[in-house]
Amino acid sequence: MTGLAPEHVAFVGQTAAKNVFVQILCWPTMPAAWSMLAEAVAALRAVRNGLSMSNPVLGSSWMQQVAPQLSGPLEREWGAAESTVATLIRRLPVRFAAAVVEHEPGQGQGTDAMRHRSLFSGCLTAYDTYLKNSNQRAFRLMLAPSHSAAENDLRQAVLAEMLPHMDGSERLGTLELAFWSGAASPLPMEVAQLAAVAVSRHLQEPAQVSPLFEAVRARLAPPSHFHAFGGRSARR
């Protein structure tokens, strides 16, 4: 998109476990948010370089698998890794919106469009409320992880069909959806992916202490779909 500035880009994180789909929307609240993230990760690498970057252990934790750039400097300190990344996220000028949909086993593929509709609706409804309350302009591009061509086309079609009918359509304007297919995800997408997996892990084990989940919950923009995280959200 011509003239696209970093603050015009939001990122989508997605995960699924045990037929429960989680989608996170992460957007900057200040123009410098994504450069601040890059600087924070670079500083973390510099500080930890002598301790942790020699002989890295790739894929040795769930965080390393989900967000290798964010968690890479901490591969030798997994006891503190989640708390460290949670602190980094708490300091970023970003907000999240979360949507959760339960997909019953045996349901047909015809429900895929409904699932995507619920996930987008949950995230964008919270984002629109944030825009209304903060008097900020909407981002222009929503960057999501790429899947198959058919699923990407379906997500594009679902979003294009639903946006004009949303209550906040005039605020969301000409929002576009694009997909990232590169080998290494942008750092903000890693943040969104970590947030989605943290929510999913909390749903599977709600008694498990998770600094990362608490950091995400503290930055949720109400009314997030499944905002209270007290039970299942929409069934599709």
Quick one: CA dihedral 127, 177, 138, 25, positive or negative?
Answer: positive
C-alpha triplet 104, 105, 107: angle, nearest 5°? 75
Domain CATH number, residue 80: 3.30.420
Quick one: CA dihedral 200, 232, 153, 128, positive or negative?
Answer: negative
CA distances 81 to 61, 146, 156, 169, Å, are 10, 27, 36, 40
- Domain with 97 in it: 6-235
**Judging by beta carbons within 10 Å of its beta carbon (0-12, 13-18, 19+), is residue 119 exposed, middle or buried?**
buried
* Number of folded domains that form the chain: 1
How do residues 150-192 score in pLDDT, each as one tens digit?
Answer: 999 999 999 999 999 998 888 887 899 999 988 899 999 999 9
Does 231 score more than 80 pLDDT? no
CB 7 within 8 Å of CB 28? yes
Cα 124 to Cα 171: distance, rounded to the nearest angstrom: 11
Residue 227 lies in a domain: yes
Q: How many CA atoms lie within 13 A of 229 on its CB side?
A: 20
How do residues 19-78 score in pLDDT, each as one tens digit?
Answer: 899 999 999 999 999 999 999 999 888 876 655 444 444 446 788 889 999 988 777 666
How do residues 113-124 score in pLDDT, each as one tens digit?
Answer: 999 999 999 999
Residue 85 lies in a domain: yes
Residue 79 lies in a domain: yes
Confidence at residue 119, expressed as pLDDT on a 0 to 100 scale:
94
Residue 1 lies in a domain: no
- Strand 141-145 and strand 94-102: pairing? unpaired
Residue 51 lies in a domain: yes
Residue 71 lies in a domain: yes
pTM of the entire predicted model: 0.88
Residue 131 lies in a domain: yes
How do residues 80-106 score in pLDDT, each as one tens digit?
Answer: 888 999 999 999 999 999 999 987 655
Confidence at residue 235, expressed as pLDDT on a 0 to 100 scale:
45
